[in-house]
Amino acid sequence: MIFGKIDFLNLLPFHVFMKRYARSLRVHQSLNYHKGVPSALNRDFAMRRIDAAFISSITARHCHHFNVGIVARREVLSVLSLPSLNDEKDADSATSNLLAAVLDIHGEVLIGDKALRYFYSGGEHTDLGKVWNTQTGLPFVFALLCTHHHTDELQRLSQKFVEKKIKIPYYILMENSRRSGLTPAQITHYLQFISYTIGEKEKRGYKRFVKEVKARGLAPSMGEIRYR
């Protein structure tokens, strides 16, 4: 199985889980990784170059997915709008650019680890997750774990993941600190704002976002691809 891997810090607990706990699952024996940013993995998944991945929520609504995703209950820290005279999209993003449009927030969209570096540098910004929660009272689902097949194995894997309390070993924190340019304390702080279980409130937030995108005529062409 080819699994699309996003090397953003928001999925660090999942990667630790896969390395440590998923070895007992049959799927791990044939697991290969294909790295990319969210927008690239969306395309690769649609073209069936990869079998499973955390897919941007706006393009995931027609695929087979589990109740596991990347969620911000309030602030997210890694999806920001920066002051700018022009509206600028982040090329790595699919969902976050649309979220800014739905919220009528203008400026430069910045996501991922580069957004975290900006946040911790103290730069002026608007946190899109926080604005969404303020306006709706709901969490925001940025991505969903999707698959074309291997559904039984991935179902077991996803259930084990959300049941486990994942502790990040210090050496992995240091590796990611060097890669991301953030301190281990900043990484640990950031991960407190990310959750992975898609419960009833998360489903309501997700449905509301998709409804808003459709109502405003913002749905991208990839969002209309039916994966099954």
* Domain spans in the chain, listed from the N-terminal domain onward: 2-218
Q: What was the pLDDT predicted at 28?
A: 53
Smallest CA-to-CA distance from 71 within 59, 54, 84 is with: 54
CA distances from 141 to 84, 99, 103, 198, 206 (A): 26, 11, 15, 8, 6
Tens place of pLDDT per residue across the chain (228 aa)? 787 777 789 999 998 998 877 665 555 555 667 777 777 888 888 888 888 888 888 888 778 888 899 999 999 999 999 999 889 998 888 799 999 999 999 999 999 999 999 999 999 999 999 999 999 999 999 999 988 876 777 888 888 899 888 999 999 999 999 999 999 999 999 999 999 999 999 999 999 999 999 998 886 543 333 322
Q: What was the pLDDT predicted at 223?
A: 39
Q: What was the pLDDT predicted at 150?
A: 67
Q: What was the pLDDT predicted at 227?
A: 27
Counting beta carbons within 10 angstroms of the beta carbon of residue 95, is it exposed (0 to 12), middle (13 to 18) or buried (19 or more)?
Answer: buried
Render pLDDT for 117-153 as a digit per residue (tens, 0 to 9). 999 999 999 999 999 999 999 999 999 998 887 677 7
Does the reported pTM lie above 0.85?
Answer: yes
Q: What was the pLDDT predicted at 47?
A: 81
Instruction: Render the burial of 129-162: b for 16+ CB within 10 Å, e for the rest.
Output: bbbbbeeeebbbbbbbbbbeebeebbbebbeebb
Fold classification of 2-218 is D-Maltodextrin-Binding Protein; domain 2 (3.40.190)
Specify the residue for token string 């997210």.
76
Smallest CA-to-CA distance from 60 within 40, 45, 79 is with: 45
